[in-house]
Structure 1
Amino acid sequence: MSIIPPQQHEHLLQLRPLPTEAELLDGIERLRRERNAVILAHNYQRPEVQQIADFVGDSLGLARQAARTSADVIVFAGVHFMAESAAILNPGKTVLLPDLRAGCSLADTLTAQGVRDWKAANPGGLVVVYVNTTADVKAEADYCVTSGNAVQIVRSLPEGVPVLFAPDKYLAAHVARETGRPMDIWDGACHVHAAIRPEDVAAQQAAHPGAELLVHPECGCSTRVLRDVPDLQLYSTEGMVTRAQQSDAETFIVVTELGMVHRLEREVPGKAFVPVARTACCEYMKMITLENIHDSLRDLSGRVSVPEDVRVRALRPIERMIAIG
């Protein structure tokens, strides 16, 4: 058995106390100014992360903010494909993802080779991909869409041309219902939205009679819920905020990832928002914390970049998405 000399004890036991939340917030604010940084946070982020962000929104809103920012550093409190989109739009800026493990189960269902195979089988076809895709996939696409503008973009496509809609099959079903457009649909889904069951919705309706439903089109339960409520509108996360502001209802059942509840409570005070299920929680979105935002700003760690040839090709469908709205 080896004995550690006493003179080495102090060196081995140099443990620093964890910073308090107040210290982290002060450090983030100081580093944000020093780095000329902007912090962009998705609606599904932790409440404390949303609180310190310069902008909180959906993928389209975040892309727009990334496109117009004058900051030198963009800290993306989201997942990897979102940081890639910011890098595509800002080749001269530093884009940071505080935890590079923050991926997306939906984006992982589609590869660039899968898109190329479809295009080879459908010459002249158009590829419409959800923003929840990698840069390599976007580089193969004609249009990029969000849940808020997918219907509008598909309606604008020329008739009689083959269309691939990928990768979310539930959003595709919503688009097909709204447009009547025949499409080839990729068999992909977000694991969180796919796990929300009609029974979860029914249980909350029973517990909150008269509450209005705010259902995201990515949800696997949406088709069955629509059978019970045929005139139900499906909403993007931005659409949920607008609807809650305009509706006379006082209570809403929020059928999407539960992080959305915090934003709704913050922007629509005085109304009640009930998450459809406490289990509707994306572990990837929750990987971003105040601690790793602070460390990322301090060390400029978690850099995300896109090869220039991929970036140039992926820029076109993203710019089309931003332009169409």
Structure 2
Amino acid sequence: MKEDLVNKINKLKRERNAIILAHYYQIDEVQAIADYTGDSLGLSRKAAETDADVIVFCGVDFMAESAAILSPDKTVLLPERDAGCPMADMVTADALRKKKQEYPEATVVCYVNSSAEVKAESDVCCTSSNAIDIINAIDNDQILFVPDQNLGHYVSQQTDKEIILWEGFCITHHRVKDDSIHRVRELHPDAEILVHPECRPEVVELADFVGSTAQILKYAKQSEVKKMIIGTEMGILYQLKQDSPDKQFYFLNQGLICQNMKKTALHHVAEALEEMKYQISVDEATRTKAKEALDKMLELSK
């Protein structure tokens, strides 16, 4: 049945001139069928560059929205309509407008894990891969950073600028506590601990390496250490094993699962291509303003 689904997807993909983009947190089968897997920055770049007519975005809603913002001439499909992001829901355009009134001189830097409406209220977007570079490239010493307080705190430790934090967080990465680090150090003293900057500050402080999903993958592949403890969503294990089959990988917490990222299955991808659902669009006024923030990010992160 799985083989039939894969064949069906490949056939429909050719007929539709479609490309399948999948985040590293998707289930193994979806990552395997994708034309390109990546983190938020890599997927944003691929969505902006593709000459396909249809983009099937295997991720969560804000990612598909970003693709629609960057490629308005493409048809963007989100295979699982209910794949959202709790952190993105922690900031709204109205709330951000009110906060901007409190800090009228601040440059608003918006993590891509946010809605199109929030991006439209921002000056520039960033990802966990490029947040430090983006903020250091801004000609302003006061930054309003939304919505991830943990990533914002991490960036604040790498710059002299004033970072005003929004009180949002990733519920998956936020589950990891510093006592997990202490326990795993005792159990695996020969292992390196690699964590995502969406983790709590006290967890980040104790890690051997801190980086985005793509940066964790790169580090793990290049490291001579054969045992690693990972502090990010478990979907990354698929690519870790592809890159380094000779290494051992463990996770800091068994709760490192994003249920929204796991909603998309192979049959959803097939149905999306067959029925051309669920199409993601952004109204033109919002899209134009949000695109300025995304374009600025791509410009500054080259």
The structure with more radius of gyration:
1
Q: Deviations over 1:220-253 (max 9, x none)?
A: 2x42452x46xx4311111111111221101111
**Matching residue within 185, 193, 197 for 1:213:** 193
1:284 is the counterpart of 2:260: yes
**Matching residue within 67, 75, 81 for 1:94:** 75
CA distance in 1, matches of 2:98, 2:204: 34
CA distance in 2, matches of 1:108, 1:61: 23
Residue 19 (structure 2) aligns with = 38
Residue 148 (structure 2) aligns with = 168
CA distance in 1, matches of 2:24, 2:204: 23
**Matching residue within 4, 10, 14 for 1:29:** 10
1:274 is the counterpart of 2:235: no
Q: Deviations over 1:87-119 (max 9, x none)?
A: 001111110001110000110000011221122
User: 1:25 is matched by which residue type in structure 2?
Assistant: V
Question: Residue 39 of structure 1 contacts residue 77 of structure 1 at CA under 8 Å; is this kept in 2?
Answer: yes
User: 2:193 is matched by which residue type in structure 1?
Assistant: L
User: 1:127 is matched by which residue type in structure 2?
Assistant: V
For residues 101-250 of structure 1, what are the structure 2 equivalents within 5 Å?
Answer: 101-160=82-141, 162-220=142-200, 222-224=201-203, 226=205, 228=206, 232-250=208-226
Please report how far the alpha carbon of residue 159 of structure 1 lies from its aligned counterpart in structure 2 after TM superposition. Answer: 4.0
Question: Residue 178 of structure 2 contacts residue 202 of structure 2 at CA under 8 Å; is this kept in 1?
Answer: no
Residue 53 (structure 2) aligns with = 72
CA distance in 2, matches of 1:223, 1:201: 10
CA distance in 1, matches of 2:184, 2:209: 18
User: 1:51 is matched by which residue type in structure 2?
Assistant: A
Q: How many residues in Structure 1 have an aligned counterpart in Structure 2?
A: 301
CA distance in 2, matches of 1:127, 1:81: 18
Flag the 1:233–1:195 CA change in 2: closer, same or farther, 3 A: same
User: 2:176 is matched by which residue type in structure 1?
Assistant: I
Question: Residue 221 of structure 2 contacts residue 240 of structure 2 at CA under 8 Å; is this kept in 1?
Answer: no
Structure 2 SS opposite 1:303: coil
Q: Deviations over 1:19-45 (max 9, x none)?
A: x11111111011111111100000100
Gaps of 5+ in 2: none
CA distance in 1, matches of 2:68, 2:85: 17
Please report how far the alpha carbon of residue 154 of structure 1 lies from its aligned counterpart in structure 2 after TM superposition. Answer: 1.0
CA distance in 1, matches of 2:172, 2:220: 23
Residue 289 (structure 2) aligns with = 313
Flag the 1:225–1:40 CA change in 2: closer, same or farther, 3 A: closer
Structure 2 SS opposite 1:30: helix
**Matching residue within 228, 233, 255 for 1:257:** 233
Question: Residue 138 of structure 1 contacts residue 144 of structure 1 at CA under 8 Å; is this kept in 2?
Answer: yes
Q: Deviations over 1:180-210 (max 9, x none)?
A: 3212110000100111122223333333221
User: 2:218 is matched by which residue type in structure 1?
Assistant: T
Please report how far the alpha carbon of residue 125 of structure 1 lies from its aligned counterpart in structure 2 after TM superposition. Answer: 2.2
Gaps of 5+ in 1: 1-19
CA distance in 1, matches of 2:266, 2:168: 31
Residue 13 (structure 1) aligns with = none
When normalised by structure 2's length, the TM-score is: 0.96
CA distance in 2, matches of 1:175, 1:279: 25
Question: Residue 137 of structure 2 contacts residue 300 of structure 2 at CA under 8 Å; is this kept in 1?
Answer: no
User: 1:81 is matched by which residue type in structure 2?
Assistant: F
Please report how far the alpha carbon of residue 279 of structure 1 lies from its aligned counterpart in structure 2 after TM superposition. Answer: 1.6
Question: Residue 84 of structure 2 contacts residue 260 of structure 2 at CA under 8 Å; is this kept in 1?
Answer: yes
1:58 is the counterpart of 2:34: no
User: 1:286 is matched by which residue type in structure 2?
Assistant: K
User: 1:203 is matched by which residue type in structure 2?
Assistant: R
176-185 or 36-45: which moved more?
Answer: 176-185
**Percent sequence identity over aligned pairs:** 42
